[in-house]
Structure 1
Amino acid sequence: MNALVIDLTHGGFKIAMELLETKYENIWAWDIYHSLNNTQKDLLESKGIKLTNEIPLVDNLDIIAPVHCPLDIEIDLTHHGAVKYILQDWKKSEIPVIEVTGVKGKSSVVGILKEIFNSRQPLVLSSLGAEYLENESVINLKKNISITPASIIETIQLAKNCEYGICIFETSLGGTGLAEVGVLTNVVEDYSIGQGKSKASLAKRQIFESQIICCEKETLDQYYPHLNENILSRINSYSLKNPHAKVNVLNVKYRLDKTFIELDVKNLKTISGKSVSTRLNIETFAPAPHHVSNVLAALTAALSLDLNINDILSGIKRFKGVKGRTSIKKEGNIIIIEEINPGINVRALEKTIKMAQSMKNSIVILGGEYGITCEEIDELEAAKLLDSLKMHTPLILTDQLGKGILKKMESPSIFIENPQEALNYAINKGARKIVFIYRSNYSNLKKR
């Protein structure tokens, strides 16, 4: 058997190297984005991997490419599928795996799951890094690591001396099929991938390879209305407002530091084949509806894995937000809610601003950096949103993104280039609640 690994930028280099230990006799690697340095090229060639810029004319060739591959060719394995194949022997250890994908909320759901399963010493991969919890202490294995599927292999290798009892992996654009429970948080924006040849919803469909799938009911109905019965029988849906979901919100009382949620669980299927029906009362950090949705995703996943309900509720109660993403700070009598995310889009922006507008004496600070992810925020749509909301809550724009949005707005707004100075300005103006929305790279520790 022969293999061609396409795209060495998004984990393909790691996949090509790992395939050396498998059935493939000859391996080619196609660096379509020309991202390899000479050292990497020399390493591949020293291992017998052949560099190419075309499809080799050989028999029995498996083409392995990411789901967002822009080439118009039929592939045999996605990078996600290749990771499952490479890790097939590791998976025999029967350590349970949860994979989390979606457009928004992935890192927050992983953060909640980390609290829920902290007694099992989880091995965790998220956009904030690879880490291992031992006796409730966090051991950082690697800070700057992507959430491409190949990073799952690297995380497991980094943890070779760790005695973890569960794996929680955040994965971009779908799941590998390794998971007992796969979580699809949402598809709030069905952005295009592969230079317009596909969409996020199609790529994230790979999560349905999991044994049990937890999915937001609205996402399920809108983007996946024609799933076959085999997949539907393995889905546990959740919703803030749809009573037909298996986990449905009955009542919510929002507060900044803690929110109270009453839930109805009905006929939820677990990995062992049990059916769970119950009423639950939850206390946790979830100041807005999209935060509650993240809680529902994590709770549904934990129930699907047969975890004790009291342990689930205790873990959710311990959750206080994710540092570097969504969290709350108190400085004297001032409350600062941080929404820091490399993938902020207009829909997420709208939800967060509406949360801020529901608070008295609040100010919104909005800004961020360019070049954080492949998908840039639509500044014109963001400007239209801010104009349409009339911004009864004072708005301060900051940094590169703030400047770009300001140029496209019709209504005037305050611009302060430095984010810290913007924060100081808001405090000096008497704000008691500051919602800080910032588009930042997870690897930029100074912006966390």
Structure 2
Amino acid sequence: MKEITAYTNKKVLVLGLAKSGVNAAKLLHHLGAFVTVNDFKGFDENPEAQELLESGIKVVTGGHPVELLDEDFELLVKNPGIMYNNPMVERAIERNIPIVTEVELAYQVAESTIVGITGTNGKTTTTTMVAEILNENSTDKKAYVAGNIGTPASIVAQAATANDVIVMELSSFQLMGIQTFRPKIGVITNLYEAHIDYHGTREEYVAAKWRLTENQTSEDYLVLNWDQQELRELSQTAKAQIIPFSRTQKLEKGAYCLNNHIYYDGDFIMDASDILLPGTHNLENALAAIGVCRLLGQSIENIQAVLKRFSGVKHRTQFVKEWNGRKFYNDSKATNTLATKNALKGFSEPVVLLAGGLDRGNDFDDLIPSMKQVKAAVLFGETAGKMAAMAKQAGVEQVKVVQNVEAAVPVAYDLSAAGDVILLSPACASWDQYRSFEVRGDLFIEAVNHLAEN
């Protein structure tokens, strides 16, 4: 890690703890800043704040008092989830206090090559694919996964050496808080409408994503989904070298799929059908990953080896097991209809779909065109009734409503036959019954394993 002096004796406020805030505070303290952390949670039930106080960092908890900003802070490091209409953030803007997120700090101290990956869908899968391919048969360097995927970038930036690569998954929330952040390779997997409650408009959301490339130069690379016209048009404003990928058209450079064959810069890489992870969306993720890894000099043999065995990131069209001729997939991360449509497009076999969850007031009619190969639906949660009506309208032969995902698994098995796919892809958030989509997915896996053992 670079031992920079930019924060020596500088007054910095870290707003919001969680993992990124805690580690940003620790890093700034190590770099010699006078750090104050402010978290909404009370001190007695806030072990992170207690730990920081013991290490000599000033702690203010139990609310966000705007008068705290009267202390002449020179920088505010904001938790990405805190919106810009928060009174503390608005006051900081009024006072012209620079606002950054933790990934900016990580970039400033990192010695490693940085790959920054963003997009509406596919970020986590692509990030994980890239790291696994780069680590295949590697003995002298390591690819680290960091950012929005779970491990704060500021932790990884301190551990990684100049010989290593940091593969960062980056959200639009994180990218809004950068100043100098400049990835050697940037990736935008796709752009759809999302997080309008945070950004206000689709245009602002896209602008936040595009900040990924704002500091790149002609010495850097930007890997883009060439099947999206919006990204093709935006590419004209980039200074980085554009590396396109496409699953629908032959390209002069970059990664593309033609007649089931995948190529990069004209070199044959592998057959698309040899990629273990199903779905056209995962083919796009693989093409993006191939682009990054070939730019970094990874061999075709290592790319093939990883993509032939990569079974998916947990809870994202994750292959669980095959039992009695049925293949079970956990796609609990599918918390909206777009994600479920993408999952369903990935299968040509008959599907028994497990779905349902938190009712946010929407209907599910946009799923109907994607339900053609769904032979049965097992539904649960607050939206079970709405989804049952949609499934019947879509012509699904058998529709069952059960109490929860655990009960859905044996019912789905009874409705299936050898050769079928049993897919958990809820199209809804989990919070009506489960603390998180991870808990929901873990219970699905447990139920599948229990079924197979009995």
TM-score tier, shorter chain, comes to 0.7 to 0.9
Distance in 2 (CA, whole Å) between partners of 1:308 and 1:68 is 38
Q: How far 1:66 moved relative to its partner? A: 4.4
Tell which deviates more after alignment, 175-184 or 309-318: 175-184
Q: How far 1:41 moved relative to its partner? A: 3.5
| Alignment coverage as a number of residue pairs | 390
Please name the residue that 1:411 is paired with. Answer: 392
Match of 2:423, SS state, is strand
Identity, % of aligned pairs?
17
> For residue 206 of structure 2, what is the amino acid of its counterpart?
S
Mapped pair 1:96 → 2:113:
yes
Equivalent pair of 1:365/1:422 in contact (CA under 8 Å):
no
Mapped pair 1:70 → 2:62:
no
Match of 1:119, SS state, is coil
Q: How far 1:326 moved relative to its partner? A: 2.2
Q: How far 1:369 moved relative to its partner? A: 5.0
Equivalent pair of 1:262/1:279 in contact (CA under 8 Å):
yes
Distance in 1 (CA, whole Å) between partners of 2:48 and 2:226 is 44
**Structure 1 residues 278 and 240, CA, compared in 2 at 3 Å: closer, same or farther?**
same
Distance in 1 (CA, whole Å) between partners of 2:385 and 2:145 is 33
Match of 2:14, SS state, is strand
Please name the residue that 2:6 is paired with. Answer: none
Q: How far 1:349 moved relative to its partner? A: 1.5
Distance in 2 (CA, whole Å) between partners of 1:364 and 1:427 is 8
> For residue 247 of structure 1, what is the amino acid of its counterpart?
G
Please name the residue that 1:399 is paired with. Answer: 380
Q: How far 1:151 moved relative to its partner? A: 1.2
Runs of 4+ in 1 over 6 A off after TM superposition: 33-36
Please name the residue that 1:133 is paired with. Answer: none
Any gaps of 5 or more consecutive residues in structure 1? 128-145, 253-260, 267-276, 371-376
**Structure 1 residues 201 and 437, CA, compared in 2 at 3 Å: closer, same or farther?**
farther
Equivalent pair of 1:324/1:447 in contact (CA under 8 Å):
no
> For residue 380 of structure 2, what is the amino acid of its counterpart?
D
Q: How far 1:404 moved relative to its partner? A: 6.0
**Structure 1 residues 171 and 108, CA, compared in 2 at 3 Å: closer, same or farther?**
same
Given the two structures, how large is their TM-score scaled by the length of structure 1? 0.72
**Structure 1 residues 397 and 203, CA, compared in 2 at 3 Å: closer, same or farther?**
farther
Q: Deviations over 1:338-388 (max 9, x none)?
A: 1424353222222323444x43xx233232555xxxxxx86624x212445
**Structure 1 residues 415 and 35, CA, compared in 2 at 3 Å: closer, same or farther?**
farther
Mapped pair 1:321 → 2:302:
no
- 2:290 aligns with one of 299, 302, 326: 299
- 1:241 aligns with one of 221, 235, 248: 248
Aligned pairs for 1:122-271 (under 5 A) are 122-125=142-145, 147=149, 151-155=152-156, 165-173=164-172, 177=181, 179-194=183-198, 196=200, 199-208=204-213, 209=215, 211-219=220-228, 221-222=229-230, 225-226=233-234, 229=237, 231-243=238-250, 246-252=253-259, 261-266=260-265
**Structure 1 residues 442 and 107, CA, compared in 2 at 3 Å: closer, same or farther?**
farther
- 1:365 aligns with one of 353, 364, 367: 353
Distance in 1 (CA, whole Å) between partners of 2:197 and 2:156 is 26
Pick the structure with more strand per residue: 1
Please name the residue that 1:374 is paired with. Answer: none
Match of 1:168, SS state, is strand
> For residue 120 of structure 1, what is the amino acid of its counterpart?
S
Pick the structure with more helix per residue: 2
Equivalent pair of 2:120/2:192 in contact (CA under 8 Å):
yes
Equivalent pair of 1:364/1:394 in contact (CA under 8 Å):
yes
Please name the residue that 1:426 is paired with. Answer: 412
CA RMSD of aligned residues (A): 3.8
Distance in 1 (CA, whole Å) between partners of 2:406 and 2:53 is 48
Q: Deviations over 1:391-410 (max 9, x none)?
A: 56323233326526437648
Given the two structures, how large is their TM-score scaled by the length of structure 2? 0.71
**Structure 1 residues 378 and 313, CA, compared in 2 at 3 Å: closer, same or farther?**
farther
Match of 2:155, SS state, is helix
Mapped pair 1:11 → 2:20:
yes
Aligned pairs for 1:7-46 (under 5 A) are 7-9=16-18, 11-24=20-33, 26-31=34-39, 37-46=45-54
Distance in 2 (CA, whole Å) between partners of 1:32 and 1:218 is 43
Please name the residue that 2:362 is paired with. Answer: 380
> For residue 149 of structure 2, what is the amino acid of its counterpart?
I
Match of 2:130, SS state, is helix
Equivalent pair of 1:201/1:223 in contact (CA under 8 Å):
no
Match of 1:411, SS state, is helix
Match of 1:303, SS state, is helix
Equivalent pair of 1:4/1:64 in contact (CA under 8 Å):
yes
Equivalent pair of 1:207/1:213 in contact (CA under 8 Å):
no
Equivalent pair of 2:262/2:269 in contact (CA under 8 Å):
yes
Distance in 1 (CA, whole Å) between partners of 2:102 and 2:16 is 13
Equivalent pair of 1:9/1:35 in contact (CA under 8 Å):
no
> For residue 256 of structure 2, what is the amino acid of its counterpart?
V
Distance in 2 (CA, whole Å) between partners of 1:245 and 1:320 is 30
Distance in 2 (CA, whole Å) between partners of 1:39 and 1:364 is 44
Equivalent pair of 2:409/2:444 in contact (CA under 8 Å):
no
Any gaps of 5 or more consecutive residues in structure 2? 1-9, 394-398, 431-435, 446-454
**Structure 1 residues 71 and 168, CA, compared in 2 at 3 Å: closer, same or farther?**
closer
Mapped pair 1:119 → 2:137:
yes
Equivalent pair of 1:247/1:263 in contact (CA under 8 Å):
no
Q: Deviations over 1:27-66 (max 9, x none)?
A: 3333357798344334444524252522523546223224
